[in-house]
Amino acid sequence: MSDKIYDIIIVGGGPGGLAAAIYGARSRLATLLIEKGRPGGQAATTEDMENYPGFARGTTGPGLMEAFTEHAKSFGAEIVRDEVVKVDLEGKVVTTKSGNTYRSKTIILAPGAVPRTLNIPGEFALRGKGVSYCATCDADFFEDLDIVVLGNGDAAVEEANYLTKFANSVTIIVIHDEGILDAAPMLQERAFNNPKIKWVWNSTLAEIKGDGLVESVVIKNIKTNELTEMETNGVFIYVGTVPQTDFLKDSGLEMDSRGYIITNEQMETNIDGVYAVGDARVKYLRQVITAAADGAIAAVAAEKYIAEEEGFRKSVLEEERPVAVAFWSPMVQKALEMMPSIENTVGAYGDKVKLVKMDTYRNQRVAKRYGVTKNPTIVFFHKGEVIATLVEDAINEGSIRQVLDKLSK
């Protein structure tokens, strides 16, 4: 294990992880990003990207992700190619497949998601031999051939349109009734107007056949259960994604039944100092722009967490003298009125006692940790231990002196 302690370790190098690296490194935080493959995640396999702001004429996924990567590096972010296989989220330690161990003050999880498989006969045997989940990766292998796309969401329809640049024909197999798709209206219109695209409705795939290479598919009509075999040279499958969170199952991290990580709006998980961003977290929309936004939020939240935790540790927990921590808010009139009396009473003890004022809005995490729900509240510490707590009307010169007289002897 290296002696170095990073400020932020980011697990995963998709757009969410890379955006977090940009924001973290730009804030002068020691930032390490660990990615098992090529940085960019699924976005790096999407050739045409027309909805990323600032690129009215479109851009490419690989090009945009390369720009993200270089941007992060330009601010000093370290990027290591390795796979994280074990995490101690409470201790902020990650271990990689190569045997390296890294420590950090915070962790941002951006493991992403991968295409869901059908688990039908022939799918795995012919994977890479005509079965694909990535048009950008494999489209040129199917030039002037006839291929099949399964799915009807944005990814399926968008990639089907892209595949027509290479293939002779693209047949989209849709589970819905004729004319019904889940893709965005603009993508639907483009596909319906594409002369190379054909449609099979109310259907799914039952089997993929071939001797070494894909030769045909067995299509099942979900209303009649009728099976029909159709010749094809390739199959592209787009039926959703699976979060890559298996390595987090025993980490204490809260996830939903599908394995997606649960966070709040600050990207905070149920473990202090641990954040999750991108496609692997529970969210409404999984797009490059939302992943990048997640990463920016998480890095800023991590920066504030570090400042709050380190500031509190140095000013309170590591202090040898008794410390009176006055939790208050300038937005609460009662707290405003009482603070001068609190300052004068504690100040009368001179250097024997230290007073620390904490705005509960800016220090929500610390306030919550010590059960502070009302303004003002005074929590008395001595050598890192809580000795007493006074809340609102219980705070007066006499009650403060009663505690401090015992502590300052």
Catalytic residues: 134, 137-138
Tokens of 76: 């000093």
- b or e along 74-86 (b: 16 or more beta carbons within 10 Å of the residue's beta carbon)? ebebbbbebebee
CA distance 283 to 291: 10
Cα separations in angstroms, 186 against 56, 158, 206, 288, 406: 15, 10, 30, 18, 73
- Maximum CA pair distance of the chain? 90
What residues are paired with 354 via a beta bridge? 323
Residue pair 273/301 in contact (Cβ under 8 Å)? The answer is: no
The residue type found at 109 is L
CA distance 344 to 276: 44
- The angle, 0 to 180 degrees and rounded to 10, between the axes of the packed helices 288-312 and 61-74 is 20
Which of 167, 172, 138, 137 shows the shortest CA–CA distance to 154?
172
CA distance 34 to 96: 9
CA distance 267 to 258: 18
Q: What is the DSSP string of 283-311?
A: -S--SHHHHHHHHHHHHHHHHHHHHHHHH
- What ranges in 130-173 are assigned the alpha helix state H? 135-138, 154-163
- What ranges in 316-370 are assigned the alpha helix state H? 333-347, 364-369
Residue pair 107/274 in contact (Cβ under 8 Å)? The answer is: yes
The residue type found at 44 is A
The residue type found at 101 is T
